[in-house]
Amino acid sequence: MNGSSRAATLTTFPWRLASIRLDGFPIIPAFILAFLGFLAIFANVLAPYDPEIGILGSRFRPPAWQTGGSTEYLLGTDHLGRDVLSRLIFGARVSMVVGFMAVIVAGVIGTVLGIVSGYLGGWVDQVIMRVTDAWLALPALLFAIFLAAIVGPSAMNIVIILGLAYWTRYARVIRGEVLSLKEREFVRLAIVAGCSKRTIMRRHIQPNVLNSAIVLGTLMLGVVIVTEASLSFLGVGVPPPQPAWGLMLADGKKGLMAGYWWLTVLPCACIMFMVLSANLLGDWLRVKLDPQLRQL
């Protein structure tokens, strides 16, 4: 590897990540995401009850601090007597798994197409970008609802649907970076050295766009989680009786009118905190990994 290629390699994402200073690190958002991840991993141990089984005689129990509540159900029960706390804990697992997997699927598809489109150019670039433009013209939520209605509700189907709905965001951003990178000296030297196009895209282009893909993934996580909750709320997402925050909102919308506020406020708060935390962490990463913004 020549000096220019080595210098280019040392600016890739792992090295940039290792050199990041933690000044201004969003401690609270990171703690919230870590806590929700902890709940998702150990849901089977932490949840006091089975989230899918309720006791009809314990329907609409209020939270423990409210009149009529008890420590038996700390956050109350729903219309089927299911423990709200247990459903929130398992709902974190659903949102985390679906959200992260959908972001990975969208990121892989969009990054690969963005690299191919930006580096090869010509008719390949034209075809991929016109498909991307057409895809971007479709409202993401409506498109996801359309696909979910066709393939049916399931967690794995939602992962694939969300990946197909949001890959275009990655393709656009990555292509723009590749158009700049392919004019850099280390890429030209790799061409002179006889490297194939596949090798250049894999060894020289891909490592230098990973930072943008990962930052975009953290910013897209909130969007994906909201979309997943919306699909579950509309009945085309995660199927009942699985505990999902969107399903809990759908179940509690009638209870809110009757004064059972905890059935909607608590899952809504969980969605809000997760999305806000992911966005704040992603914005911090964006600033730290962008050399121009880092100098400000």
Give per-residue pLDDT as tens, 203-255.
888 888 888 888 888 888 889 999 999 888 888 888 888 888 988 888 887 76
Nearest to 14 by CA among 250, 206, 167, 238: 206
Q: How far is CA 29 from CA 41, 88, 259, 275, in A?
A: 18, 19, 31, 10
- The one-letter code for the residue type at 234 is L
Residue 241, pLDDT score: 81
Distance, in Å, from the CA atom of 123 to the CA atom of 105, rounded to the nearest integer, reads 25
Cα 129–Cα 205–Cα 166 angle in degrees, nearest 5: 40
pLDDT of residue 269: 92
Q: When comparing pLDDT for 191 and 273, which is higher?
A: 273
- What average pLDDT is seen over the chain? 83
pTM assigned to the model: 0.83
Which residues have a Cβ under 8 Å from the Cβ of 102 and sit 6 or more positions away?
Answer: 158, 159, 162, 163, 166, 224, 228
Residue 210, token pair as written in the block: 């990973």
User: Which DSSP string corresponds to 203-231?
Assistant: IIIHHHHHHHHHHHHHHHHHHHHHHHHHH
Class in CATH terms, 3-7+26-294: mainly alpha
CA distance 44 to 48: 9
Spatial separation of the C-alpha atoms in residues 125 and 132, rounded to whole Å: 10
Six token digits for residue 107: 């990121």
Q: What Å distances lie between residue 139 and 82, 143, 144, 149, 211, CA to CA?
A: 35, 6, 9, 15, 27
Q: What is the pLDDT of residues 28-50, one digit of tens each?
A: 989 999 999 999 999 999 999 98
* Confidence band for 13, pLDDT divided at 50, 70 and 90: very low
How is the chain split into domains, by residue range? 3-7+26-294
Alpha helices in 121-258 (DSSP H): 122-137, 140-151, 155-181, 185-192, 197-200, 206-233, 245-257
| Bond into 241 cis (ω within 30) | yes
